[in-house]
Amino acid sequence: MSAAIAGSGVALLPAYVASEHLRSGRLAPVLPGWSHDCWPVYLVYPYRHPLPRKYEAFIQHVVPRMRALLEAGIDPGQGAVRPSSPE
């Protein structure tokens, strides 16, 4: 991403990573209307058997909500993604 921001490259980034840079003008879309179909999201936690209830409760809470946000193209931290138009 730093190379793209510096003007030295192109980056394929998920909306939740690029949205602030698009809004500020540090990045501009180069292929509007084209997007990658799938962005993997990982939930990482220390291995314990059995899985503590608080971990299981957190996973049950977060997974469907993150899935819905990502499928809707909404940045979980910033709200709806509104990319700036290229100059």
User: Does the structure show a pLDDT above 70 at 82?
Assistant: no
Q: Which residue has the higher pLDDT, 22 or 78?
A: 22
Q: What is the pLDDT of residues 3-46, one digit of tens each?
A: 889 888 888 887 778 888 999 999 998 887 776 666 677 888 88
- Distance from C-alpha of 12 to C-alpha of 30, rounded to nearest angstrom: 10
- Where is pLDDT greater, at 69 or 81? 69
Q: What is the pTM of this model?
A: 0.47
